[in-house]
Structure 1
Amino acid sequence: MDKGIDRPPLPPPGSARPLDYVFLLRPMILVPVWTFYLLGAWHGQNISGIPTDPLSLFFGMTAFTLMLGAAYIVNQITDREADRANNKLFLLSHGIITIKGAWIEASLLAAASIAIGIFLLPGRFLIILLISMVLGILYSVEPVRLKRRPVLDIASNAIGSGIVNTLAGWTASGASLDGYIVLLPYILAVSSVHMVTALADIGGDRDSGLMTSGVALGRRKGMILATVLMAGASIACMRVGNRPALYATLLSLPLMAIMIRAGKRKPDQTRILLPAIVSTVVFSLTAVFFFPFYLPFLVTIVLLTRLYYSRRFGIKYPSL
C-alpha cells in the first residue's frame, strides 16, 4: 500500500529513468491483484476438478497485470494534485515522469494486454480485460470519476477487484461459471480493505476537493464500516463454504476492531493502513498455500521495490 512518506529532496522534474516507468505501475498495489487472481484460479480449479494449465495462468496474469498497471497510471495522472498533498507517488505528482510519457505508457500497456487476450487467451478473458479497462477509466477520469463519489468509489473497487479480478483467475483456470458464488466473500473483503486505504488519504483528498468515502465518513466511522464489511465477508464465507477466505477474514478482523478506537484521535498513516496491510498479507499467504511459487515471487517484488525506493528516493518503502 502506498502511503505518504517523509523523504529527502526528490529528483528534479523531467529526470525519469527507465526503472521509473516500471515502478510507475505500482508493484506493491498489484500484490492484491495477483493474490485475488490466484485465489480465483484456485477456486475455479477446485470447483471444476480440472488442473489449471500453467501457461493459461501465466498469460492471464500477465495480461491482467498490464491492464491494471495501465489503470493505475491513469489514476495517478488524474490524482496527481491529491498525491502531492498526501506526499506520495512522486513520479507523477512531482513531475519526474511527464504526463505525456505516462499516457503513452498506459496506452502501450493496455494495447499489449488486449493483444495477449486476443491471441493467447479465451474470448471470455478478453471481455474481462475490456471490462477492467472501462472500470479503470470510469474510476479515474472525468466527468464520471467514481473515485470522488462516496459509496460508488468503494463499489467500483469491489466490482473491479472483488468480482472482475477473481473472475479473471477463475476464467484462466478453464472452469465454467457454475459455482462462482463461492467468490462472493472477496467482494466484501476488497470493499473493507479499500475503505481503510481511503481513510489514509483523507487529508490530501479533502484539500484537493475529492469527496471520497473516507472524507465523507471520517476515520472512526470509516473504520467501523471497514470492520462491518470484513465481518460480512466472514459470514458470507460460511454461507458459501469458502474456508480459505474464512480463515483470512477472521485473522484480519481483530486488528480492524482494535483500530476503531484509534479513530478517536488522529493516528499516523502507517497505523491507519495497518489493517489493510495485514489483510493483504493474510490473503496473499492464503494464495501462497495453494500456489507455492507465489512466495518467492512476492519476496522478489518486495525486495526490488525496497531497493528501488532506497536508491532512487533515499527512503524505506515498503515498510511498517
Structure 2
Amino acid sequence: MVFRHPATHRRADRAWALVRLTRPWFWPLGWAAAYAGSVLATRDWLPTPAALPRSLAALVVLGPLVWAAVLAVNDRHDLPSDRRNPRKATAPLVTGLLTEADLVRCQVGATVAALALAVTAIGPAFALGTAVVLLLGWAYSAPPVRLKSRPGLDVAANALAVGVLAPLAGWSLHRPVTGYPVLVAALGLLLVAALYLPTTVLDADADRAAGDTTAAVRWGTRRCRRAGLTLWVAATGVWLVVCHLGVLVRRDSWTLQDLWAPVLILGYAVAVRRPSIARLAGVCLLFAVPAADFLTSWSAAGPG
C-alpha cells in the first residue's frame, strides 16, 4: 500500500481545485465558436498546415487561460452569493481549499499568459480581441462596474464575448476582422443572449440574498425565461430567412433547417422551464445540428 504525505495530498487537492476553478466543461464554448469562425473564414473544416500553430495556440488561450482569468475574478467577487448557493457548496473558495490570494495569482498569471501567447504566437487582432474579452470578464464581476448587477448590460457583455468575439477570434486566424459577416455577428448576439438569460435564473435566490441585482432578480425568473425564448425564436426565424433567401450561401433545399427549427425551439422551451447547465448544454448540442449543416454548404460553395 502506498501512503502519501499530507502535504503532497494537499498540493494535489489544490492543483485539482485550480483546474476545477477554470470549469473545463466551459472551454468548448469558446472552442466551438472559434472553430465556426475559422470554417467561415477558410471554407474548410481543418486549418492549413501554415495556420496550425496559430490554431493550437488559440485553443490554449480560448480554453484554460481565458476561462481561468475570467472565472478567478468571478469567484472572488461572487463569494457572498456562492456561500448562500447550494450549487456552489463545493467551490474551492467556499470550502477554503483555495484562498482569495490564490485566485488573484491565478487571475494575474492566466491574464499575462493569455496576452503573451496571443501576441507572440497568434497575432495583433487576436491579441486585441483577447484583451477585450478579459476586460469584459473583469467588468462583469468586479466592483465598481460589476455588470452582473446591471441587468441588460450583463446579457450584452456575455453575448458580445461568446457570440461575437469568440467566432471572430477564429476568423481572425485567417482573414482580416473587417470582413467578418455582420449578419453572423448579429445572430451570435441573439443566440448567446438567449442562452445566458436562463443562467441568471439558476442562482436567483442566492444572488438576491447577497444583494446582486441580476437580470433574474430584477425582472423575475419567469420574464427571463420568456425573454430568452423570445430571443431564441427570433434568432431561429432570422436564420431560416437567411437560408431561404440565400443571403450568405445559396442551396436548392434547406430541408434539415426547416425540420430542425421546431426541435430547436421546443428543446429550448423544455430546457428553460427548469434550467440547468446540463440542459443548456443540451440546447447547444441541438444547435450544433443546423450549424453543421450550414457550414457544410458554406464549405461546399468554395471561395466567396
Q: TM-score normalized by structure 2?
A: 0.78
Tell me, in whole angstroms, the C-alpha distance in 2 between the residues paired with 1:22 and 1:99: 16
Shift of 1:137: 1.1
Shift of 1:54: 2.3
Match of 1:313 in 2: none
Match of 1:37 in 2: 34
- Gaps spanning 5+ residues in structure 2: where? 1-9, 297-304
Match of 2:266 in 1: 254
Match of 1:128 in 2: 129
Match of 2:159 in 1: 158
Greater RCO between the two (CA within 8 Å, min separation 6)? 1
1:17 is paired with a residue whose SS is helix
Shift of 1:255: 2.7
> Which deviations, in whole Å up to 9, do the C-alpha atoms of 1:230-253 show, x marking residues without a partner?
112113323544799968765431
1:144 is paired with a residue whose SS is coil
Aligned pair count?
Answer: 270
- Gaps spanning 5+ residues in structure 1: where? 1-12, 292-320
Match of 1:203 in 2: 205
Shift of 1:97: 0.6
Match of 1:222 in 2: 224
Aligned residue type for 1:76 = D
Match of 1:178 in 2: 179
Shift of 1:272: 4.9
Match of 1:28 in 2: 25
Match of 1:233 in 2: 235
Match of 2:114 in 1: 113
Shift of 1:228: 0.6
2:145 is paired with a residue whose SS is coil
Tell me, in whole angstroms, the C-alpha distance in 2 between the residues paired with 1:14 and 1:96: 10
Tell me, in whole angstroms, the C-alpha distance in 2 between the residues paired with 1:249 and 1:120: 40
Match of 1:298 in 2: none
> Is residue 268–residue 283 contact of structure 2 (8 Å, CA) maintained in 1?
no
1:143 is paired with a residue whose SS is coil
Tell me, in whole angstroms, the C-alpha distance in 1 between the residues paired with 2:142 and 2:267: 34
Tell me, in whole angstroms, the C-alpha distance in 1 between the residues paired with 2:156 and 2:280: 17
Cα 1:283–1:113 shift into 2, 3 Å: farther
Cα 1:124–1:172 shift into 2, 3 Å: same
Q: TM-score normalized by structure 1?
A: 0.75
> Is residue 267–residue 283 contact of structure 2 (8 Å, CA) maintained in 1?
no
> Which deviations, in whole Å up to 9, do the C-alpha atoms of 1:174-200 show, x marking residues without a partner?
355324222421211110110011111
Shift of 1:31: 2.5
> Is residue 57–residue 117 contact of structure 2 (8 Å, CA) maintained in 1?
yes
Tell me, in whole angstroms, the C-alpha distance in 2 between the residues paired with 1:44 and 1:166: 10
> Is residue 238–residue 246 contact of structure 1 (8 Å, CA) maintained in 2?
yes
Tell me, in whole angstroms, the C-alpha distance in 1 between the residues paired with 2:284 and 2:138: 24
Cα 1:173–1:193 shift into 2, 3 Å: same
1:72 is paired with a residue whose SS is helix
| Residue range with higher mean Cα deviation, 243-252 or 278-287 | 243-252
